[in-house]
Amino acid sequence: MLKIGVLVSGGGTNLQSIIDSIEDKRLDASIAVVISDNPDAYAIERARSHSIRTEVLPRGGFAAREAYDLALSALLKGHGVELVVMAGFMRILSRPMLEAFPMRIMNIHPALLPSFPGLNVQKKALEFGVKFSGCTVHFVDEGLDNGPIIIQAVVPVKDNDTVEDLGKRILAEEHRIYPQAIQLFSEGRLRVEGRRVFVKGGAEADSALENPVATIFGG
Ligand code: GRF
């Protein structure tokens, strides 16, 4: 069974969706360890309450990002981790992690990449005036929110949305697609060619979306 290591910094609702998917037998994987850079992350409590092993690796004490990532990769390898799952881990990974886990690190981002990389992206999407946003699960490479895209889910942006409304709508989709992406990996169904990720046996979406839905032509 695929052993995953989940990296967290905060509330851990994505971690929770992964735990729930495993417990409901929708996801065939085991969480070898949950690692946080933040000792106060609520995600740590979530892991403990499901008897999952946890480690806290604070940033302090490491002079450079590379030194931190070397320690992080050693910790993950020590727990036998085969796939690293970033779930709200607020750090950019450097070479030692990318070399230890090539195309074996996933991240989830609350926007439709390559639009709106970085932070506070629900607010940026709303302010920009896009009619759709969503979330993206992707493999991690050296760029910020840049690696090959595995799955995206799209949500509408509504006229009266607050940042919180849009954020909640996106988060619900994150909780749905992240366990799916991990399951596809665990079944060996992901093939990466350059920037493109192909899913073996994947049913592709077949219809266009529009928002607002055009009723102006009587449609
Ligand atoms: C999510 O919005 C995720 O897309 C982003 O950080 C947030 C983490 O939320 N990378 P949680 O800690 O999983 O609740």
Task: DSSP for 28-97, please give it.
Answer: -EEEEEEEES-TT-HHHHHHHTTT--EEE--STT-SSHHHHHHHHHHHHHHTT-SEEEESS--S---HHH
Contact by Cβ (8 Å): 99, 141:
no
pTM confidence score = 0.96
Structural domain including 139 reads 107-203
72 and 113 in a single domain? The answer is: no
Residue 213 lies in a domain: no
98 and 115 in a single domain? The answer is: no
* Number of domain units in the chain: 2
Interval between CA 218 and ligand 1 midpoint (Å):
40
137 and 113 in a single domain? The answer is: yes
Residues 161-199: pLDDT tens digits? Answer: 999 999 999 999 999 999 999 999 999 999 999 999 999
Q: Using CA atoms, how far apart are residues 139 and 147, in angstroms rounded to an integer?
A: 5
Q: Which secondary structure element, helix H or strand E, spans residue 156, and what is its range?
A: strand 149-156
Interval between CA 35 and ligand 1 midpoint (Å):
15
112 and 80 in a single domain? The answer is: no
Catalytic pick from 79, 109, 138, 175?
109
Q: What is the pLDDT of residue 61?
A: 86
Q: Is 109 a catalytic residue?
A: yes
- The minimum-distance atom of ligand 1 relative to the CA of 108 is 4
**Partners of 135 in beta bridges:** 153
6 and 98 in a single domain? The answer is: yes
Q: What is the pLDDT of residue 1?
A: 96
5 and 95 in a single domain? The answer is: yes
